[in-house]
């Protein structure tokens, strides 16, 4: 099976995002503010409330699982359950989150100029993640079929 560079890239990006979320917890309230979590999350973190930590760890765990699905689809790790379904869902979530930019521009009376930097950049970045997952899933669809998993050659060490 050929290497699926799109899914590998998607997995690396999701893994990096998962790690970044853990780093935000360690960085504390200023990091929550810088990365766009909002003032309320930053204030809760300042107060030592459990909610920002649990929420951020949950997001980090989801992103790590998504990375594993990308690596599984690329054939780098063993096949995960519902692989193709999972990759389609992950692609859609990333794409929908990225495309939130369109209604944000349309709803905002100032258009693009009225968007804050977090909405603009996070949407574009996540759209890139979604395109990597969707393209990789499309290109590797046949190779990821359940009956094809047994035909995969063992990975070289």
| pLDDT tens-digit map of 5-15 | 999 999 999 99
pLDDT at 157: 40
Could you tell me what percent of the chain has a pLDDT over 70? 92
Position 149 pLDDT exceeds 60: no
- For the segment 113-122, what is each residue's pLDDT rounded down to a tens digit? 777 788 888 8
For 149, residues 6+ apart whose C-beta sits below 8 A from its C-beta are 79
How far is Cα 69 from Cα 40, in angstroms, rounded to an integer? 32
Instruction: Specify the DSSP class assigned to residue 4.
Output: -
Q: Is the Cα torsion angle 139, 141, 143, 144 positive or negative in sign?
A: positive
Is 32's pLDDT higher than 90? yes
């Amino acid at each position: 099976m050929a290497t699926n560079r799109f899914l590998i890239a998607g997995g690396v990006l999701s893994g990096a995002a998962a790690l970044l979320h853990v780093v935000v917890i360690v960085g504390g309230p200023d990091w929550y503010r810088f990365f766009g979590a909002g003032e309320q999350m930053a204030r809760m973190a300042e107060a030592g409330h459990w909610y920002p930590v649990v929420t951020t760890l949950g997001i980090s765990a989801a992103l790590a699982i998504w990375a594993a699905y990308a690596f599984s689809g690329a054939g780098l790790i063993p096949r995960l359950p519902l692989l193709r379904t999972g990759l389609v869902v992950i692609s859609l979530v990333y794409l929908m989150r990225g495309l939130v930019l369109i209604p944000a521009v349309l709803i905002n009376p100032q258009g693009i100029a009225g968007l804050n930097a977090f909405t603009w950049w996070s949407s574009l970045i996540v759209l890139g993640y979604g395109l990597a997952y969707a393209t990789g899933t499309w290109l590797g669809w046949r190779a990821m079929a359940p009956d094809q998993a047994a035909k995969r050659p063992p990975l070289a060490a």
